[in-house]
Amino acid sequence: MKEGMVLKTGRAANSDDMEKINRYTRREFQPEEVYTFSVVLCDNEIDRDGERFTVEALKALAGLFLGKTGIFNHSMQAQNQTARIYDCAVERDETRRTKCGEAYCRLVAKAYLPNSEKNRDFILELESGIKKEVSVGCSVSSVTCSICGADLRHGGCSHVKGKTYNGQVCCAVLDEPTDAYEWSFVAVPAQREAGVIKSFSGMEEVEKALSGGETVTLTGEQSRALRETMKQLEREASYGRAYRAELENDFVKYASVAQPEIPAQTLRRVAAGMDLDDLKCFEKAYRARANEALPLTPQLFRAEKTEPAGGNAPFKI
């Protein structure tokens, strides 16, 4: 049995979710009638038992776990059924490496349960993170030594799990899964990162979680919204950079007139080091001083006088 953890809770079911969920229901349910969450069932990292799944094994398990029921502590009794998996897929993270040097992969499932009075306490435990860690029950036909490839089901070898040989950590490699029985909520999972994934209903919650350093898994809709937000921020940032560049140029120009003894290069460095409010303040002050030292109004400029209505101004040359 391998362990995982809940990833996302309280995620709003969309039309694609409901189509998959209704394959397992006896009547067609509506989104408000179900509660959905995502869960990491297992991954390809070495777990506390010194074992790991291959990526191919995870892909095979994705199909085997469809429709499987979640229970408690692997107690296979009908009254312990809590939720059912309606979707399952392998997620790959190329930016992260396992202890064996592979790209990190995890098997993520989506599960649902009725949004009912009976399940209210359990949903609260999911939302609060009390019910989080999970364990999977499955069988594999291949268990080999990661160092020598020996079949650990028939005789094995002299290598010790957890010990390092020539820079490689020894572990049991689990492959060729033949069945997936169930997944259970447990107190301590063997796989450290298996369990419920947190969900976020709006972009404000996503931004708050990111600013707090949390790991966030987004829905497709949230990903699109985040991309649009990033595009808008990039456009606004470009406007801000253009405005600051113009303000810095004006600061250097007016300061050079007001204090010609200061080199322009020095003024540019000073401008670059100011925050925007200080830069605006100094630009305004140097503009006024520059106007006193060298009037910015053209010498031959003459303001037009307002002629009384009905005067002879139109006939003056």
Q: What is the pLDDT of residues 21-41, one digit of tens each?
A: 999 999 999 999 999 999 999
Asked if residue 101 and residue 237 are part of one domain, the reply reads no
Asked if residue 56 and residue 174 are part of one domain, the reply reads yes
- Enumerate residues 6+ apart whose C-beta is below 8 A from 37: 6, 7, 8, 9, 10, 11, 83, 110, 111, 126, 196, 197, 199
Asked if residue 68 and residue 166 are part of one domain, the reply reads yes
Asked if residue 102 and residue 51 are part of one domain, the reply reads yes
Q: Is residue 308 assigned to a domain?
A: no
Single residue among 198, 218, 238 that ends a domain in this structure: 218
Rg (CA), the chain: 33
Q: Cα(260)–Cα(311) distance, rounded to whole angstroms?
A: 49
Look at 230 and 66; give whichever has higher pLDDT: 66
Q: Is residue 312 assigned to a domain?
A: no
* pLDDT tier, 207 (very low <50, low <70, confident <90, very high otherwise): low
Asked if residue 186 and residue 256 are part of one domain, the reply reads no
Q: Is residue 300 assigned to a domain?
A: no
* pLDDT tier, 48 (very low <50, low <70, confident <90, very high otherwise): confident
Q: What is the pLDDT of residues 262-296, one digit of tens each?
A: 999 999 999 999 999 999 999 999 898 888 877 65
Single residue among 167, 184, 218 that ends a domain in this structure: 218
* pLDDT tier, 198 (very low <50, low <70, confident <90, very high otherwise): very low
Single residue among 218, 251, 278 that ends a domain in this structure: 218
- CA dihedral 195→207→21→134, nearest 10 degrees, is 0
Domain range holding 113? 2-218
Average pLDDT over residues 220-244: 81
Q: Find out whether 135 and 3 touch, Cβ atoms under 8 Å.
A: yes
Asked if residue 147 and residue 57 are part of one domain, the reply reads yes
Q: Cα(94)–Cα(75) distance, rounded to whole angstroms?
A: 36
Does the structure show a pLDDT above 70 at 297?
no
pTM as predicted: 0.58
Provide the 8-state DSSP code for 240: H
Helix, strand, coil in percent for the chain, rounding step 5: 35, 30, 40
Q: Is residue 313 assigned to a domain?
A: no
Average pLDDT over residues 298-311: 54
Asked if residue 102 and residue 152 are part of one domain, the reply reads yes
Total domains present in the chain: 2
When the pLDDT of each residue in the chain is averaged and rounded to a whole number, the result is 82
Average pLDDT over residues 131-138: 84
Does the structure show a pLDDT above 80 at 226?
no
Look at 300 and 180; give whichever has higher pLDDT: 180
Does the structure show a pLDDT above 50 at 71?
yes
* pLDDT tier, 220 (very low <50, low <70, confident <90, very high otherwise): low
Asked if residue 243 and residue 209 are part of one domain, the reply reads no
Written as one letter, the residue type at 36 is T
Asked if residue 151 and residue 47 are part of one domain, the reply reads yes
Asked if residue 153 and residue 248 are part of one domain, the reply reads no
Asked if residue 171 and residue 251 are part of one domain, the reply reads no
Asked if residue 175 and residue 103 are part of one domain, the reply reads yes
Look at 220 and 86; give whichever has higher pLDDT: 86
Average pLDDT over residues 146-174: 91
Least confident of 8-22, 103-117, 236-250: 8-22
